[in-house]
Amino acid sequence: MSEQDRPFDVRRAGVLLHVTSLPGAGDLGDEAYRFVDFLAAAGCSVWQVLPLVPTHDDDGSPYNAPSAMAGNPDLLSKDRRETADDGAVTAWCAQQSAWLEPYVEYTALRELHRTPWHTWEPALRDRDPQAVAAALSPLSERVQELKVEQWDFAQQWGRLREYAASKGVLLFGDLPIFVSLDSADVWAHRELFELDEAGRPVTVTGCPPDYFAEDGQRWNNPHYDWAAMAADGFAWWRRRIARQRELFDLVRIDHFRGFEAAWHVPVESPTARDGRWVTAPGEQVLAALVETAGPGTLVAEDLGVITPEVDALRHRFGLPGMKVLQFAFDGKRDNPYLPAHHDELSVVYTGTHDNDTTAGWWASVDERTRAQVKSHLVDPDEPMPGALVRLAMESTARLAVVPAQDLLALGSDSRMNTPGTDEGNWTWQAPVGAFDDELASRLRAVVERAGRA
């Protein structure tokens, strides 16, 4: 096996930048290839992105998607489209039919009705085959267009992945643990979710009050019916992770703790404060995921309320966890994010896509916190955000990932997402020319000094 097949056998550096945040069009065109070149020149061997799924028009969030399996057609480069070969498209569609057929049916009907599926007439809501076929009959051209879009996405992403591999760069994806109620996945597999007869959730997902939100966060996804999923050996999860491994070398499982227990919020509750923890069959699910994905390819997002049981589940399957430096300096010596508490099987970040940029964070912290941070820095006089980037790179964690905004020393107006808010998220783009040779050279010096090149 090569180092590409064993990502955590060596020290690595990476950059977090979603495809939509690439300079220019924010797609799979030339700037994506230039960014791979930048990473290689900087000594970085990992490119981490957010989910590549389609998004709903109302919020643009890749964590609230109409499909957990499809690629986002908005990421397609117009300059790199291929002429569709009917035979190739047909063969690919047949191979991907388990998720592709529900996706194209749902998408065509969703475009027709412009409302969530659980508001459709009962026959379509319940995915009656005859009703669906009759409704789609006038939409046959659109259905075929949707299939070709997904085939084209597979071609464009596949070529980019091959190019990244030729430069020694691994692609690191993100898998949200929950899926949107208004999605092809829930519409086509209602029996796998806790829904009432009309297709509405019994309880919804969220998390209790934490660093990000004093009332907790209400995400509004439906919860899984774990007993129904276990009945067929978690086949839906196996298909989902297999699909992600087609796209990525590494996959982060967002909200990993939900496999041990999930926060169930009453539908009628206005906030997530009134939720409760409900246990999940984590060991059974993870066994299926690791067996399908392959060892050494999954990462656990273990932020938030983490119990000994969650830690035990992660260690049981040898999954690296996350260490976020912005969370480290609360004055407590046992803070798990302090550099002294990092272990090799970890991924260290200055911040994530949900954090403020490091420059914005630094501007907001008090002098006491600043003093604590400086006591851990390699050079206390080094300015931010470069100082925290260096601290991340010097960590014992095998993989260090830095958001692109921190490399570019950008402030709060460039953050990707503010949890608990509905506006101004997911839109940041890097300036054209930002990832130049000078930045690559400066970053490479830090990466090499940390033994990660």
Cα–Cα nearest to 443, from 384, 391, 386: 386
| Predicted structure pTM score | 0.96
> In angstroms, rounded to a whole number, what is the distance separating the alpha carbons of residues 54 and 73?
7
The whole-number pLDDT of residue 214 equals: 86
Residue in the block written with tokens 């409900």: 278
Interior angle at CA 77, CA 353 and CA 69, nearest 5: 55
> In angstroms, rounded to a whole number, what is the distance separating the alpha carbons of residues 219 and 178?
9
- 3-state DSSP assignment of residue 72: coil
**Active centre residues (catalytic):** 254, 301, 354
Count of CB atoms within 10 A of residue 14's CB? 25
Cα–Cα nearest to 224, from 162, 149, 266, 281: 281
Consecutive 10-residue averages of pLDDT for the chain (453 residues): 70 98 97 98 98 94 96 97 91 97 98 97 98 98 98 98 98 98 98 97 92 85 98 98 98 97 95 95 98 96 92 97 97 95 97 98 97 94 97 98 98 94 93 98 98 97
Exposed, middle or buried, 284 (CB in 10 Å: 0-12/13-18/19+)? middle
Cα–Cα nearest to 414, from 422, 423, 425: 425
The whole-number pLDDT of residue 4 equals: 55
Alpha carbon dihedral 338, 341, 344, 345, in 10-degree steps, equals -90
Domain ranges of the chain: 3-449
Q: In whole angstroms, how large is the CA radius of gyration of the chain?
A: 22
The CATH class, in words, for 3-449 is alpha beta
